[in-house]
Structure formats: C-alpha cells, structure tokens
Chains A and B, each alone.
Chain A
Amino acid sequence: MIRVQLPAPLRRLTKTEGIVELEISTPVTQRKLLDALELRFPMLRGTTRDQQTKKRRAYVRFFACGEDLSDASPDAVLPQAVASGKELFLIVGALAGG
C-alpha cells in the first residue's frame, strides 16, 4: 500500500483529509503512482503534471525518504520504503510566496 500526502489545496480539491492510500503493482514508479492517483481522483488531472506532456508542473515538488525526487525520471523505481508504505510520498507545493 503506497501512502501519499497531498498538499492542502489538493486535499481541499479532492475533499480528502490526511493520507491517501493507493494499491500499485511493483515496480512502483512516479508515473504509476500519479496515474493511480488521477484514476482515483480525476479532478487531479493537470494539477501536478501537464495533461498532455505529463511533465511535472514547475511549482510542484515530489519528496520521499528525505530526498527531492522531483527531477528523477518518472519511470525510475521509487525507494522500497515508499513502495512498502513505510515512508510517505509527498506532493508539495514549492515555496514561492502566496
């Protein structure tokens, strides 16, 4: 079970609180995680990545296990601790004022 923490604006958009749990087949990648997230919450399409190019939005960051995975390949395998649900996959709005 993958555990994902959404930023507050996306929690309000999805009407969720706390952590979102997703079932994803191994190997777990960022692309598969975001695909599963958007399948469950269609309103998230376009909010973390471009709907056409799938490129990450500029002010969205992905953190896990104390590392910034934002610029990792979407098809890179995520850390085992994320895949096992031990560690959260954090979707974060970049610090940019506001």
Chain B
Amino acid sequence: MKGVRVLVGTKKGAFILTASKKRQSWKIDGPHFAGWEIYHMTGSPADPNRLYASQTSSWFGQVIQRSSDGGKTWETVGNEFKYKGEPGQHQWYDGSLRPWEFKRVWHLEPSLDDPDEVYAGVEDAALFRTKNGGKSWDELPGLRGHGSGPQWAPGAGGMCLHTILLDPSRPERMTIAISAAGVFRSEDRGKTWQPSNKGLVSLYIPDPKAEVGHCVHRIASHPDRPDVLFMQKHWDVMRSDDAGANWYEISGNLPTDFGFPIAVHAHDPETIYVVPIKSDSEHYPPDGKLRVYRSRSGGNEWKALTKGLPQKNCYVNVLRDAMSVDRHDPCGIYFGTTGGQVYASNDEGNSWQTIAGHLPAVLSVEVQTLS
C-alpha cells in the first residue's frame, strides 16, 4: 500500500493504523498480542514489511515478535538477553548497589540497511544486537563495561536504554541514551563508548554537571544533519551541534521544559516538536491543555499548536517513545497519550485529528512512510 502505517504499542497490546497519503481516513487493526505490554514496535528502513515488536509482561517476561508482511502475521523469535560476563552493579534508588538484571526491551532500532540486523535497548540498561532477524541477541558489552556503571541509577520508569541513534553518514557512529545515566557515543560501531553529557545540568544529582547520571528522556536528530542532536531531558530541552560533544539549552519560551518525547520535522532539520508536561511530579500538561510546541528555529522560540487538541480538563502524559513523524509532504506528526488517544497532524502540526480515541495507555508510536 501507499500512505502511512502507524505502529502503536500500548499497555495491553499493539495496534496498526493505516491511511492513504492524504492521512484523513484511518483504519485500526488490532489488538495484536492482546493483554501484553508492547513497549515498542517498529519497522526496518531497509524493508518496510519487516516489523519487530517488544512484547513484555511483569508476569511472563520478554517476547520478541517479528513480521515479514507488514504486521499481517507474526512469529516469535529469540527472547534471551544474556549480559556478557559478570553483570556488575549499578545504583538503586536508595543509593545502594544492585546487580544488573534483565527486565525488558524498551526500544528496538533496526539497522539502516539490513532488515535482519536490529539493536535493542534494554532495562537494566544495556545494548544488544541481532544479525539474524532476532533469532539470537548478543550484548555489545563495551557500553555497560565503560566503567561508570556503578554511577548509573534507574529513573522512575526503570534503568532503561531508550534511545538508539544510528548515523546514516557515519556507520561507525552510534549514540544512545539511558535514564538515568545520560548520553553515550561510540565511534567504532558500539565496541567502545564515551559519555557525552557536557553542558547538561541536573539539579537532582549531587554534582549537577557530573559526567554521568543525567536523566535524559529522549534524543532526536535529522538524518540529513546527524551532528545536530535535540534532547528532552528530565528538565530542560537541549541541543548539540557537535554530535553530543557539547550541549546547550534551548527551552526558551516553553511554559515548562519538562517532558518526554522530542521529534524533528522530516524535511526541515531546524523544526522540532515537544510536548511540555507540568513537572516531574505532575505528569500532565500545564493548565489541562494538551499543547504540542513547535520551534522553527531549532529551539528557544516556540509556538503552541492546539487546533484539534483538547484545551481543557486534559491530564494525560505523552511518553518518550510515543511521538514520531512521517516523510510525506507536508510532514505528518503523530503522538499517543497515556489516556489511549493517538493524534495525527497532516500539516506539520498546524491542526490535529484524533485517529484513535480509546486505546489502552500508549507506550510507543512509530510511523512508516509507504511509497
């Protein structure tokens, strides 16, 4: 088909929403994997019919699902995520040390050119990779073995590796983010890693400018300009112009700079989107108004986008993996809420429509542009 396929992971299953390029009339298919938490579902850039889903349960553990027909049928693949060597220890909430223990896959990032190669970011934080379509997974232990592990701590949602950026112009470069450790960058395809948090200031850790320990919520970049990174942190919206070597704040006139997702316009690398949330203890929009904020200047100057979004009595959250963009023109923007709504804009955020109104709480939203 041509058009758009929106992959929605929720607390109780997965849903696939499809529409033509106009993105006006939507079909909802699901639930897939009913009753399970789908932390993330995404497609391969090299083969849009190849999908992967992280299916997880506090009762029954981790399952990885794979589809080769765009989500019509699925098969289970390997689900063993075994840390290499001694697991080591990280900080717990009370400052004590705990051994690494695998809990779930938060994020799947297929390689840019091979549908059988996928990276997985997991909790407790580590990076795994499959080269055989998910049959088996191997840890890239250089990240967890960087040496700063005992300083890593879980954020409120767990110690998760939630962002994996692959650089289309430099295959050897990878950037990942962990809550709450921060950003790490590799220049050798994931063998060795260095913290990349200079410029971040976090008042909730003993040394606000520490090398590691920052609660980074999400990083995004534009494929045509991979050295420019945008970050939504626990507080602060940040930007780097040198691939994460240095960060500076771009929160500007946002009503609050707390939030979870951040996304970049498909055709304009200086246009970015965030969804401000009131505070770290009040995970809902300020004043009960669900507003996406767009900056066309790469930050600092933000405009509220409200047309079609609830502007009173709205107290949902938008989680870190629950916002995405398509590559049609005009660019489409999508996000899902903990209230089970999925909103879409087919005009760069100027107006929004509810494309699913009553799903379980949305954990992730990914978009495939089909041509």
Which residues on A are within 8 Å of B, measured CB to CB?
7-10, 12-13, 42-43, 45-48, 51-52, 57, 59-60, 93-94, 96, 98
Contact = CB atoms under 8 A, between A and B. Distances in A.
B82 A9 contact: no
A58 B57 CA distance: 12
B151 interface: no
Given A13-B76, A52-B82, A47 B61 contact: yes
B10 interface: no
Given A57-B59, A59-B59, A94-B59, A45 B80 contact: yes
Contacts of B62: 46
Contacts of B61: 46-47, 57
Given A12-B34, A52-B82, A98-B59, 13 more contacts: A8-B35, A9-B36, A9-B60, A12-B35, A46-B79, A47-B61, A47-B63, A57-B60, A57-B61, A60-B59, A93-B59, A94-B59, A96-B59
A10 B57 CA distance: 11
SS class of chain B's interface: helix, strand, loop or mixed?
loop
A64 to B, nearest CB: 19
B371 interface: no
Interface of B: 33-36, 57-63, 76, 79-80, 82
14 contacts: A9-B57, A9-B59, A12-B34, A12-B35, A46-B61, A46-B79, A47-B61, A47-B63, A51-B80, A52-B82, A57-B61, A60-B60, A93-B59, A96-B58
| Highest count of chain A CB atoms <10 Å: which of B35, B61, B63 | B61
B63 A13 contact: yes
Nearest to B11: A98
Central interface residue in A8, A12, A48, by most chain B CB within 10 Å:
A12
A44 to B, nearest CB: 9
B295 to A, nearest CB: 39
A10 B34 contact: no
Nearest to A52: B82
B61 to A, nearest CB: 5
A13 B82 CA distance: 22
